A and B are shown apart, each in its own frame.
Chain A
Amino acid sequence: MNTEKPLLKIVLVVEDDDCLKLSINRCLRAIDRNLQIEWVGSVDEAEAYLQTHTVSLIIADHGLLGFRTGLDLWNSNLVKTSRTPFVMISGYPVEYFVRQSTEMPLPPILTKPFSLSEFNTFVSGHFNSQKNEPEVVR
């Protein structure tokens, strides 16, 4: 009997693009077919969900419905205090988010387009770190 706990339990995906949802769904199922994946399309919806649910991982696109972006969700008190592993997906490279001449805590950023193996390595790697410390990008 397999007594190991599943690697991931509930994953909250914050994404409003249907094509990207399909890709992320396929990638997550490749990691664990038994994952419970919750889908929301904006930071407001994500925060409403996180107030009443604990999740194992948050995957958020940078560009979302509404006024706030995936980065604002990363910076929100709910995510910071829960220390839930967080991955942001963006079409921009990491350097785009770094303000020149300042150090700025950023979440792990997976740049689009990405392959299934890149997603697997990236997400599994960041989820396995117990403390989801922000990456300080110089």
Chain B
Amino acid sequence: MTIENFTEDEHVKKDREFYTTGQVAEIFGVNFRTVIRWIQRGILQAHRLPGRGDHRISSNELARFAAENKQSFQTSTLSPKTEAARLPVALVIDDEPAVAQAISRALKSLHMTVEVAHDGFTGGFLLHKLKPNILTLDLKMEKIDGFDVLRIVKSHPDLKHTKVIIISGDTQENLSRANDVGADAVLSKPYTRAELANTVEKLLK
């Protein structure tokens, strides 16, 4: 399939190969009309759905745009005072929305600012944008290799302060392997809220 013969049905089937302007706006923290302006200026390539005129942006194009313009979207506008008072930030990467929501709620109850990613692209972008204090990561996801994400976080100089908590229903062998790869904590599903809270508090100290 090429962009020229793209149809909306294909988009629905192929979960997240293409993004709407609204989704792109959410990723970059801007208004959707700003994304349309990028398209009009030619700095972000998109195509229009036949008849409707809605724009769709491919994940490859989004990755290129994000990589080329990463510096422009760093959260560098906070004053030092605001930075100090900022709540700890957590990023939840889990491809099951219900599970991600449960983890998110638990972390918010610990007075954290929480962002959630269900796919590798959004997770990667948010990791670099937020540089979170805490990352919760499932190992067993359909399209994302949790071990790859863990290795990337542990080897990237910009993310050296990010503590990784593996929250997974995977085998004991793989959970131990996660420790060897560098996970800061491992929680086996099912886990209790108290266990998550204790783990986060220890890591944030």
Q: Which residues of A contact B (CB under 8 A)?
A: 44, 47-48, 51, 62-63, 66-69, 71-72, 75-76, 78, 96-97, 99
Contact = CB atoms under 8 A, between A and B. Distances in A.
Contacts of A63: 37
Query: Interface of chain B, helix or strand or loop or mixed?
Result: helix
Contacts of A71: 31, 33-34
Contacts of A69: 30-31, 33-34, 37
A87 B57 CA distance: 31
Query: Interface of chain A, helix or strand or loop or mixed?
Result: helix
Interface residues of B, number: 13
A97 B33 contact: yes
Contacts of B191: none
A58 B37 CA distance: 22
Given A67-B38, A67-B72, A44 B31 contact: no
A76 B30 CA distance: 9
A63 B69 CA distance: 18
Given A66-B72, A67-B69, A44 B34 contact: no
A67 B77 contact: no
A67 B30 contact: yes
